[in-house]
A and B are shown apart, each in its own frame.
Chain A
């Protein structure tokens, strides 16, 4: 395998969140000269300090060269690698791809940071030769701490070029590289947003019990994640969430299809400009007063307004927290399995469904079954599904529990097949289970 030398990179769309962060990764770990291209050069110049901050290194400043659209052709010609990070719109991406194609150096690699569009469809804008060196390179936000990098070769890609690129991303840029198929939303987001969107559907279903913060309290840190699912959607942005699940709803048709249907209340919030943390309000809202005091509020689905975030007291969660605090994970999982309150049952069924869907998606979208572990750990910071399988396996027969607790899913997918040979996880589940305050 030829090793890849990347001295010069062009990032198109460098003022966007991902474009800026990816430019930082190439300029720091890759020590590459990076042309940061945006529509308005003043806006690009203003982005440079943000890029520097994203990797905590002023020394990379000299690697960052602001450029605007008028300089794009020239930047592409000088580059060993071109990374397109413009709006998530097929036509926009195809227009950019044609410009890249006209200027791309002979041995250069071109890629898109798309989070779910068809790589094949974009690759058609390239010549036969260029297409061999084209792929999706999907990183997660913020890439400095979330190291996942999904590499999606188009069906025309040259495997040896993809292998060298994978090696470069892993060894030089220190990414957790997972090769996945050109399938809607790829692997991590398909698994992750299935979970999040179904949690949203549950919020609607249980709106009289509290709704949004009720479901987040059920799927809290003790369930194997740093951030609860609906808080994650708020962090990502509800518009982005909608784009991902709409894409999955229209382009996939597996047994989880209905769980990708966006709940009505989310559409209404988006229409009202309540997009989440970036717009100051969404599923949650933080009121800050003149005296510095802060008040955490949540959108109440029954009232249609923000109310104080509630402190739910679920006995199963309290007990799990106590055991996790002392590092007695087996006892914590024991509580989760034994406790038959509605909240504990919802929590456990989400975790079991997550294990099953991860195994299913790994078959569909990845090349190895353990790919689902790497993507969920490095992309979402959730306890990886195979590690979770092992964790629960200490206190019960997970297969039997799946058949008992999520029978409706077992009717629609061959769980016997999925659970037949669950590979041993390489991940330690312990750091992911946290005791909430």
Chain B
């Protein structure tokens, strides 16, 4: 089987509000694609040359541009950026907040199958085109809209608050201690984001104290027991990751570039109620999320001991809490150990979200999976700047769509 290298990529500054800048889809795509290709050392001429032999393709991840910017047929839009994309096979992939992971998966599969040498993965979402309540309703379509989203204000915070409730019940956790652990998760992500020059919240103030003080004017409850500090924030963003075959990397003298060592992809029952009913049989609160990580360990031939850094999908603090045991960092029900001991903090033994995660970086839904893969790449390639985890050889990311319905895990590692 063909090995898949990551040559590089780019992320837009997640602090930016493109609507306020008066810019649309073409502007954000054009910027991120040119930056991403430049970072990977690929020119538009390279794309033309590869395209003549049908050796390059593009894979676009986006959740719901039909609502946010009234546009579908998104795969076709690369042709508007540069004529070198004329004729390049390109399509859009969608799985809610895991949209760009499906795009990555499609891209790596085509490369592994020997169909293409170069794959350009673009994940993007413009979300600041509407107010937060309207946007919250759009996002309800990542759940079963008719049953879980329609006429519900901010359905997702409520669903992930139910996940928190479920963990307290399932593991008989002390409620206060659990909420303090969630606050710690939030403040670690905010602190980490301070080192990331592309993070949405890098200038924001957040402390453990502020995250623990819920129900105030500056930290109001958003859904159930989750307050503003427990939630990632919507933003505009786009990410490009450039993948290449081993042969292409060899030709370019880039065989030292990190590779995708394994992946997992599982779909859990869509309705949250059914997830909960099903998990009674499991030690894990999100058994299919756990299985996705197990599959990725299996495919990569690695264990949790081999992974030096994690990027997880902390759309809410409760989802990061559940991810800790899914990664195998602790036994299920013992996640608090990893949080309270400092294991997952930036200086800890197993740093989670050195980038700041979704809470710190912001969560442009269709871009987040690609952002995590790019951050894993940066860690392994030693290009993460101020948020570099020393000597990171292997990195794992978890990207979920809906209420942990679509689950994706990728392992990025060094070839050395």
Q: Which residues of A contact B (CB under 8 A)?
A: 28-29, 31, 52-53, 55-60, 144-145, 147, 174, 221, 226, 321, 324-328, 428, 430-431, 433-437
Contact = CB atoms under 8 A, between A and B. Distances in A.
Contacts of A430: 31
B218 A327 contact: no
B300 interface: no
B26 to A, nearest CB: 4
B207 A326 contact: no
A327 B217 contact: no
B16 A431 contact: yes
Contacts of A433: 21
A56 B218 contact: yes
B145 to A, nearest CB: 32
B291 interface: no
B22 A436 contact: yes
A324 B30 contact: no
Q: Which 7 A-B pairs have the closest CB atoms?
A: A327-B27, A435-B22, A59-B210, A58-B216, A59-B209, A326-B26, A327-B30
Given A325-B27, A328-B30, A430-B31, A58 B213 contact: yes
Contacts of B213: 58-59
B229 to A, nearest CB: 10
A431 B30 CA distance: 13
Contact of B24 (A326, A434, A437): A326
Contacts of B31: 327, 430
A241 to B, nearest CB: 25
A324 B26 CA distance: 10
A59 B217 contact: no
A32 to B, nearest CB: 13
A29 B26 contact: no
A174 to B, nearest CB: 6
B208 to A, nearest CB: 9
Given A31-B207, A174-B194, A52 B24 contact: no
Interface in B6-32: 13, 16, 20-24, 26-31
A437 B216 CA distance: 36
Contacts of A55: 205
A147 B203 contact: yes
Contacts of B29: 327
A435 B207 CA distance: 36
B202 to A, nearest CB: 8
Contact of B219 (A28, A31, A58): A58
A367 to B, nearest CB: 23
A423 B194 CA distance: 27
Contacts of B206: 57
Interface residues of B, number: 27
Contacts of A60: 210
Contacts of A28: 205, 207
Contact of B217 (A58, A145, A434, A437): A58
Contact of A327 (B13, B23, B210): B23
Nearest to A55: B205
A149 B386 CA distance: 22
Nearest to A63: B209
Interface string B190-220: 0000100000000111110110110011110
B22 A221 contact: yes
Contacts of B13: 428, 431
B24 A53 contact: no
B218 A52 contact: yes
8 contacts: A53-B217, A57-B207, A58-B216, A59-B207, A59-B209, A221-B22, A325-B24, A327-B29
A56 B212 CA distance: 14
Contacts of B212: 59
B184 to A, nearest CB: 14
A29 B21 contact: no
Nearest to A327: B27
A430 B16 CA distance: 11
Contacts of B210: 57-60
A384 to B, nearest CB: 15
B28 A327 contact: yes
A52 B203 CA distance: 16
Contacts of A226: 20
Contacts of B218: 52-53, 56-59
Given A29-B205, A52-B218, A59-B207, A327 B22 contact: no
Contact of A324 (B22, B216, B219): B22
Contacts of A328: 30
A325 B18 CA distance: 9
Interface in B306-350: none
A435 B23 contact: yes
A328 B206 CA distance: 37
Contacts of A321: 22
Nearest to B21: A434
Given A57-B219, A59-B213, 11 more contacts: A53-B218, A57-B206, A59-B209, A144-B203, A144-B205, A221-B22, A324-B23, A325-B22, A327-B28, A430-B31, A433-B21
A144 B212 CA distance: 21
A436 B19 CA distance: 10
A145 B203 contact: yes
Contacts of B30: 326-328
A28 B210 CA distance: 10
Given A57-B218, A59-B209, A325-B27, A437 B203 contact: no
B110 to A, nearest CB: 28
Contacts of A145: 203
Interface in B330-376: none
A55 B219 CA distance: 12
Given A52-B218, A59-B213, A430-B31, A325 B205 contact: no
A437 B28 CA distance: 18
B203 A435 contact: no
A326 B23 CA distance: 6
A285 to B, nearest CB: 24
B174 to A, nearest CB: 22
A199 to B, nearest CB: 21
A427 to B, nearest CB: 11
Contacts of B217: 53, 58
Contacts of B209: 59
A57 B209 CA distance: 9
Nearest to B81: A327
A112 to B, nearest CB: 24
Given A327-B26, A328-B30, A434 B20 contact: yes
A28 B190 CA distance: 14
| Of listed B13, B26, B205, B216, residue having the most chain A CB within 10 A | B205
A394 to B, nearest CB: 13
B27 A174 contact: no
Contacts of A147: 203
Nearest to B211: A59
Contacts of A56: 204-205, 218
A118 B33 CA distance: 49
Contacts of B22: 221, 321, 324-325, 434-437
Contacts of B203: 144-145, 147, 174
Contacts of A327: 23, 26-31
A56 B21 CA distance: 24
Contacts of B205: 28-29, 55-57, 144
Interface in B21-51: 21-24, 26-31
B106 to A, nearest CB: 26
A435 B18 CA distance: 10
B343 to A, nearest CB: 25
